[in-house]
Chain A
């Protein structure tokens, strides 16, 4: 089994000086091409015990109250680049609160913590590769990359595929966010077409009247190479 060759212009380059931490941490040697063996072409599977009470509703994970902010539903499919769904796969999400503060001891941004919001969720895709969770829209937050730097509102996603080569951690952004034009992390993705992949779409069909706005976000993982047997 072989995966399709990884396109060279989709992932941001490891060394991206506009994102200053990469200067200290990006490996400088060229990666060595590895002919994928059994280890790379397999991956862990996850069962239902990884899901905890409230795993898919970040607004109601803390007893006694509800998270503050704009309630949103986020849904989509995990697909491979051949268009096939990835069922029963683990998706983990995390984000800051509506004020732009993370539930993390190293985040000391001057914005209030929300006692009713931890900001992490866990999902298993269904047989059609679909996931769905409820949360609040994260705020933007300042960071020290450069003067007056702000991260656009984003939700972090961690996704497993059928092989470890498909493993992906990424960030979902929101449409029409003015900060996207200024963000070095988002803009280090080499092409506009690839950057578009990271932006969710407002979807009135996902919106629940008088309850929550809805956003749609598909994630595409690497897929198998076509063979004479599985190609049209």
Chain B
């Protein structure tokens, strides 16, 4: 039994922009960081497929070599934070992540941890973003847990170095969210 009770979450609310501004938050790595630089963009929607213009999305990933937290001015490399715009859209610039171990020690397919906050969400929802054309997806144990819904975690290749990935908070195509 833990000594202390943890503090409960409360919603981020609609008015967080001045409190959580993060200039440069759409770039998870410096331009000169090694690896394949890619863009990911998409839209966040609600139960009717309408855009969510007041969400905050955070991204966390390993670098191309599978290492976390390389020093960078401000926040460690591999961290990103973007609010959705008026059309519910977000976009980030990052480096294709290297493979990192899961809880069983085996390497997982390249992925980005995504955490999303919004008015109407009592706490963050957490998920993972995978990349359509990665050969390792077929043996990734976390994707396997998602069964038929695994497709909601897979970003589609848009162009040579651009991927599209949307988040559906609720509904027929609801994104898989995790608890850990």
User: Hey, which bits of chain A sit against chain B, CB under 8 A?
Assistant: 3-4, 6-7, 10-14, 16, 19, 21-29, 31-40, 42-47, 49-50, 79-83, 92-96, 102-104, 106-107, 118-120, 156, 158, 164-165, 167-171, 185-186, 188-189, 193-195, 197-198, 219-223
Number of cross-chain contacts by CB at 8 Å: 237
Beta-carbon contact of A221 and B69 below 8 Å: no
Q: Which of B38-62 contact A (CB under 8 A)?
A: 46-48, 52, 54, 58, 60-62
Closest to A21 in B: B120
| Majority secondary structure of chain B interface residues (helix, strand, loop or mixed) | loop
State how many angstroms separate the Cβ of A86 from the closest Cβ of chain B.
12
0/1 string, B87-100, CB within 8 A of A gives 1:
00000000000001
A198-B75 CB under 8 A given contacts A27-B174, A38-B62: no
Residues of A within 8 A of B145 (CB): 32-34
Interface bin, chain B? 35 or more
With A35-B102, A39-B100, A45-B69 as contacts: A93 and B19 at CB distance below 8 Å: yes
Are the C-beta atoms of B14 and A81 separated by less than 8 Å? no
Is B178 within 8 A of A39, CB to CB?
A: no
Q: Is the CB of A37 within 8 A of B146?
A: no
Contact yes or no, B15 A11, CB < 8 A: no
Assuming the contacts A12-B123, A14-B121, asked whether A194 and B180 have C-beta atoms less than 8 A apart, the reply is: no
Measured CB to CB, the residues of B under 8 A from A are: 2-21, 46-48, 52, 54, 58, 60-62, 68-69, 71, 73-76, 78-79, 100-104, 108, 111, 113, 115, 117-126, 128, 141-142, 145-146, 149, 169-170, 174-180
The DSSP consensus for interface residues of chain A is: loop
Closest-by-CB residue of B relative to A29 is B174
- B residues within 8 A CB of A197? 5-8
Report whether B176 and A220 are in contact in the complex, using a CB–CB cutoff of 8 Å.
Answer: no
CA distance A168 to B68 in the complex (A): 20
Are B174 and A31 in contact, with the CB atoms below 8 A? no
Interchain CA distance A42-B12 in the complex, whole Å: 22
Q: How far is the CB of A218 from chain B (nearest CB, A)?
A: 8
Measured between beta carbons, the chain B residues less than 8 angstroms from A46 are 74-76
Instruction: Find out whether the CB atom of B102 lies under 8 angstroms from the CB atom of A120.
Output: no
Is the beta-carbon distance between A106 and B14 smaller than 8 angstroms? Answer: yes
CA distance A118 to B15 in the complex (A): 12
Q: Is the CB of B3 within 8 A of A21?
A: no
Contact B120 A158 (CB under 8 A): no
The 8 closest A-B pairs by CB, nearest first: A94-B19, A21-B120, A25-B120, A35-B103, A34-B178, A44-B79, A37-B102, A81-B2
- In the bound assembly, the distance between CA atoms of A198 and B122 in angstroms comes to 14
